[in-house]
Structure 1
């Protein structure tokens, strides 16, 4: 079961009614409510309560894009975890499709993607919209100002925030991120690297449902030249030793490398 407080804008993708706060360089802060309207929280039920485990992105009226290791998550919420916002909608997951080449025992091989199909489209309003998908093969430029968003731990072994967080993560090109003193052979051309700022944005390197550190599966939001927001990456892994480790930036599955697969499934 999914609980949805998000909906799809009729005006198309990547154009939130409430614009994100991008007027200054941020190391991490509360996001403006509903400014990342495609951001969802995937939650698993323990006893009578749901607990946040992974992020996800609404890319179609019935489709959620997340990481392959986030397939156990069951609930969707939009901004403030501490409140019932009154806009939640209940939906069932009709279908779960993990990328056929994803191997949980070999995270560094890539392909860390999954698509979740909802049983029916949520009711449309301006609280949540679709993220745009990039063109196949598109690669954000080195230094491109992208934003991560999510409810992950604020620092190593720290608490999860109630409110959705955002942070600026400039893209680091493959030729830098693949250096031996960076990620080396652990990063592939089908991935994107973006270093964290002072906010942690931690998450499990193995399975979000076990360690529940929160930002796995969430989007790397990058604005295109057309002024729309594109989900250029899906949060995959980071150093298991500590948050913000030098030369070990967050690694995202590069969405544009998998457009054909997404189109074929959805």
Structure 2
């Protein structure tokens, strides 16, 4: 039987899990400096003191100083905000990007960028079914205040069917397990996680768990445990040609602590949204939206004059 697949987004709704790019390895953040955390900042008062609380939402890839790529389902901010406000009633909710740590861990070198605008692919759809959420065209962009990096993510235009059988690396800042303790890499103070994978086609049963276009990943070795799990959503699938995919969803079994302890796992690391069908849309949106903002800036200057 095909395992139920889960959308890999907000950690507030995460399952009890063996949970990270699980079975992966720590990555030097200077290797992939453009892979960043999308977080929520909760502001609330306690005994007349303002308290800030940060929580991980998704992973993302910075393409240009003011444009970041992630999964479309990561950008359902109203839904995410309501989930967090259920645990912290009355809190003010802000979404932002965390980046810049030299170690990949929480540190004083962390920088934050405000999210100014959200652009979700017009073909994005999420259907609620008994089997779980089914999503199509799971691609989105966020415009931010400038993120200054030494290296930005490079999109690959390689047609995704030609990637079958090729090695790649799945990367994310999602949940992980440390002993019997499960939390996000943010709370655990852990580095970016990566998993070596092989791109493969999705069988018919798995394909029905999501809507096209999708590709699947398997492990490069047959050892149990490696999987993409909650919080890795939106992170990149990295090929030698560039970014070829976006983390979309993963097998619930591999993200469950009970199964991990028993050494059980599926042969699927996760389901990925391929980038190649969306490269033109991504570049067009960045160009059009940037021009719109430049025009607004010029108009404001003319009015000021």
| Pairwise same-fold verdict (TM > 0.5) | yes
- Cα distance in 1 for residues equivalent to 2:105 and 2:157: 37
In the superposition, relative to structure 1, how do residues 64 and 75 fare at CA in structure 2: closer, same or farther (>3 Å)? same
Equivalent in the alignment of 2:165:
143
Equivalent in the alignment of 2:81:
none
Structure with the greater alpha carbon radius of gyration: 2
Matches within 5 A, 1:186-225: 186-187=209-210, 190-196=213-219, 198-203=225-230, 214-224=231-241
How far the C-alpha of 1:96 sits from its partner, in A, is 0.5
- Cα distance in 2 for residues equivalent to 1:239 and 1:157: 20
Q: Secondary structure at the match of 1:104?
A: strand
Q: Structure 1: any 5+ residue segments left out of the alignment?
A: 1-25, 204-213, 225-229
State TM-score, norm by structure 1.
0.71
Q: Secondary structure at the match of 1:92?
A: strand
Of the candidates 194, 214, 231, which is equivalent to residue 243 of structure 2? 231
Q: Secondary structure at the match of 2:99?
A: coil
Would you say 1:57 and 2:81 are equivalent positions? no
> Aligned pairs, how many?
216
How far the C-alpha of 1:142 sits from its partner, in A, is 2.3
- Cα distance in 2 for residues equivalent to 1:83 and 1:112: 29
In the superposition, relative to structure 1, how do residues 187 and 144 fare at CA in structure 2: closer, same or farther (>3 Å)? farther
Q: Which moved more, 1:239-248 or 1:255-264?
A: 239-248
Of the candidates 110, 122, 128, which is equivalent to residue 147 of structure 2? 122
In the superposition, relative to structure 1, how do residues 38 and 27 fare at CA in structure 2: closer, same or farther (>3 Å)? same
Give CA deviations for 1:157-187 in whole Å, capped at 9, x if unaligned. 8222321111101111x2xx2233xx14335
- Cα distance in 2 for residues equivalent to 1:30 and 1:56: 17
Q: Secondary structure at the match of 2:117?
A: strand
Of the candidates 90, 110, 122, which is equivalent to residue 136 of structure 2? 110
Output the aligned Cα RMSD.
2.7
Q: Secondary structure at the match of 1:265?
A: helix
After superposing on structure 2, the runs of 4+ consecutive aligned residues of structure 1 that deviate more than 6 Å are none
How far the C-alpha of 1:78 sits from its partner, in A, is 4.5
- Structure ranking higher in helix proportion: 2
Question: Is contact 2:23-2:227 (8 Å) kept?
Answer: no
Question: Is contact 2:160-2:274 (8 Å) kept?
Answer: no
Q: Structure 2: any 5+ residue segments left out of the alignment?
A: 1-21, 44-51, 78-94, 256-263, 287-305
Matches within 5 A, 1:1-266: 27-47=23-43, 48-71=52-75, 72=77, 73-79=95-101, 80=103, 82-86=105-109, 88=111, 90-105=112-127, 107-119=133-145, 121-124=146-149, 126=150, 129-135=151-157, 137-155=159-177, 158-161=182-185, 162-172=190-200, 174=201, 177-180=202-205, 183-187=206-210, 190-196=213-219, 198-203=225-230, 214-224=231-241, 230-243=242-255, 245-266=265-286
Give CA deviations for 1:19-53 in whole Å, capped at 9, x if unaligned. xxxxxxx9511102311111010001134121112
- Cα distance in 2 for residues equivalent to 1:75 and 1:236: 19
In the superposition, relative to structure 1, how do residues 130 and 46 fare at CA in structure 2: closer, same or farther (>3 Å)? same
